[in-house]
Amino acid sequence: MDVIVARNRAELAEARRALGAHGGISGGTAELALVPTMGALHEGHRSLMRLAREQADHVAVSVFVNPLQFGPNEDFSRYPRTFDADLEVCAAEGVGLVFAPSADDMYLPDRQVGVSAGRMGTVAEGAFRPGHLDGVLTVVLKLFNLVRPDVAVFGRKDAQQLAMIRRMVADLDVPVAVVGGPTVREADGLALSSRNRYLSGDDRRAALSLSRALFAGAERRTPAEIRRAAREVLDGEPAVSLDYLILVDPATFEEVGDDHEGEAILAVAAKVGSTRLIDNVTVTL
Ligand code: AMP
């Protein structure tokens, strides 16, 4: 079946009708699953589309580079935009609907109200990208309201984003089931990212130290050992400019103490050349 492309909210309403998805549940299967993306689609996105297909009769993918979640000195204008290739990926994955609105269609010129990410939006990523998680939650809630999926699928690659979306859905009673998918990596461990295409050969070699650090940490047992093992790897790579290396509670993204038991997330963010990368693994303490 061909992919229906909706470039604005009127076309989206029409497309939903054409798909026959009215936001209900039939026969125990959700009717519509949404995979929100910023495009420049890769295997990581594809894995989420496959997960979405297992969850619902129809899959919608949104492609929207959301200006609200970029800071003034970030890469909004140079973020890769590869819409024709993205459509081919969606068609190959059996996606029924691609929603690709313009920023003008998404945001009213006099918009005032947005979602506040609260305290969790100010730690970890939020400490380095002020307002970023507010921007993410605002666009995700808008996409939910426009597309009206039963299920939405997000990658654990953006662990704090996923945790915040779960928090928003719980705190604001949003009627969407949130599903997380595992991080897809290159054979050598580098987490796939649309931003990897910015990396030069030398950058890419240096970027590998992020996943190597996480894997080294994940082999240790205590918070202190985990942090030390991971840091040692990063200290050995001068081309990596570290924003943070943290071991946090998955529900709050606050640093865990030495007595923490259960799951924790070892997360890293760093600049390699001019490209900022993030990655994380889950460890059990
Ligand atoms: P983005 O287009 O980067 O905003 O990402 C769209 C969705 O894909 C988010 O839910 C990301 O967490 C997810 N994603 C990005 N990279 C990966 C990856 N390597 N593996 C799995 N999911 C990913």
Nearest protein CA to atom 5 of ligand 1, as residue: 37
Bridge-partner residues for 151, per DSSP? 33, 177
Give the separation between CA 285 and CA 283, rounded to whole angstroms: 6
Q: Report how far ligand 1's centroid is from the alpha carbon of 241 (Å).
A: 22
Q: How far apart are CA 36 and CA 8, in angstroms?
A: 15
> Which of 22, 42, 45, 58 is an active site residue?
45
The DSSP call for residue 48 is H
Tell me how far apart the alpha carbons of residues 176 and 141 are, in angstroms, rounded to a whole number. Answer: 10
pLDDT band at 21 (very low <50, low <70, confident <90, very high): low
Please, are residues 177 and 151 in contact by the beta-carbon 8 Å criterion? yes
The phi and psi torsions of 111 (rounded to 5 degrees) equal: -60, 145
- Ligand 1 shell residues, CB under 6 Å: 37-38, 44-45, 47-48, 154-155, 157-158, 181, 183-184, 191-194
**The pTM is what?**
0.96
- Token code pair at residue 184: 């897809």
The pLDDT assigned to 26 comes to 56
Ligand 1 center–CA 203 separation, angstroms: 21
Copy the structure tokens of residue 185.
Answer: 């990596």
Q: Under DSSP, is residue 161 helix (H, G, I), strand (E, B) or coil?
A: helix
Distance CA(258)–CA(226), nearest Å, equals 11
Question: What is the total residue count of the chain?
Answer: 285
Give the tens place of pLDDT for each residue, 48-83.
Answer: 999 999 999 999 999 999 999 999 999 999 999 999
Pocket test residue of 46, 76, 157 for ligand 1, highest count of atoms within 8 A of CB: 157
Residue among 81, 66, 178, 72 nearest 133 (CA): 66
pLDDT in tens, 196-247: 999 999 999 999 999 999 999 999 999 999 999 999 999 999 999 999 999 9
For residue range 75-110, what is the model confidence (pLDDT) as tens digits? 999 999 999 999 999 999 999 999 999 999 999 999
- Phi, psi (deg, nearest 5) at residue 4: -90, 130
Residue written as token pair 């996606």: 95
Rounded to whole angstroms, what are the CA distances from 184 to 27, 38, 193, 226? 31, 17, 9, 22
Q: Reduced to 3 DSSP states, what percent helix, strand and coil does the chain have, rounded to the nearest 5?
A: 40, 25, 35
- The verdict on whether 132 is a catalytic residue reads no
